[in-house]
Amino acid sequence: MVDASQGAFLVVISLVGAQRLWEVRRSHIHELAIRTAGGREHAPGQMTVMAALHVAWILSMGVEVVALHRPLCVAVAVPAAVLFILGQALRIVAMRTLGTRWTVRIMTLPGVPAVGHGVFRWLRHPNYVGVALEIFALPLVHGAWVTSALFTVANGVLLRARIKAEEAALTEDSCYDAMIPPRARLVSRLFG
């Protein structure tokens, strides 16, 4: 039987799942506009892996919390919730900064410079930092430490490949190298 805190957690992860579905729809609209403007997609094979990882992460949290009777520990839940909210904020800021150029796919507009203002002045990939925080922190809100550990590692492996593909595409189509200061930024130092 599901207790009250588990039920509330299942509602939260359901809302995160719904948010992801809404974002995929929004992304599709942006992708169509980018393709119409002459844009192109890079590394399309990564999408299947990324989608599977996110679906499995959401399902795994719920299964771990309910099936393994993970307790709610407020001392862990509060900092984890703060990290999750920080991740959400980073992703939202990144999406707003990119505007109609934000997609879940790696899309470029040849000849159009990469976005280098807003949060992108400090982080090359704020959306990915936000997702990494979410994947690590949300399971910990209700003690799903196995999900947190496994999916943090899996996401790190995926992000390493994704960031390399994205930066190569931006360099090829959008003079990305010319925009980057000589110092490495956080995500490139961690995953580059």
Domain residue ranges in the chain: 4-191
At position 66, the amino acid (one-letter code) is V
Binned at pLDDT 50, 70 and 90, residue 65 comes out as very high
Largest Cα separation within the chain, whole Å, is 57
Cα distances (Å, whole numbers) of residue 87 to 33, 81, 108, 115, 119: 27, 10, 24, 20, 13
- Architecture of the domain delimited by 4-191: Up-down Bundle (1.20)
Calpha distance 188→20 (Å, rounded): 25
Give the number of other Cβ atoms within 10 Å of residue 100's Cβ. Answer: 12
Closest CA to 73 of 136, 148, 142: 142
For residue 35, which phi and psi values (nearest 5 degrees)?
A: -65, -40
Cα–Cα nearest to 143, from 2, 6, 8: 6
Provide the whole-model pTM: 0.91
Residues 50-56 have a mean pLDDT of 97
Residue 116: its pLDDT value, please? 86
Owner of token pair 């990564």: 46
- Determine the pLDDT at residue 87: 98
Query: Are 98 and 48 within 8 A, CB to CB?
Result: no
Token pair, residue 9, equals 């957690």
Alpha helices in the chain (DSSP H): 4-36, 46-67, 74-98, 126-140, 145-174, 176-179, 186-191
The pLDDT, as a whole number, for residue 181 is 59
Please choose, from the candidates 88, 160, 94, 103, the residue with its C-alpha nearest in 3D space to the C-alpha of residue 121: 94
Q: Is the dihedral of CA 179, 183, 189, 192 positive or negative?
A: positive
185 has a pLDDT exceeding 60? no
- For residue 42, give the 3-state DSSP assignment: strand
For residue 125, give the 3-state DSSP assignment. Answer: coil
Mean pLDDT of 67-84: 97
Query: Does 189 or 164 have the greater pLDDT score?
Result: 164
| pLDDT on residue 94 | 96
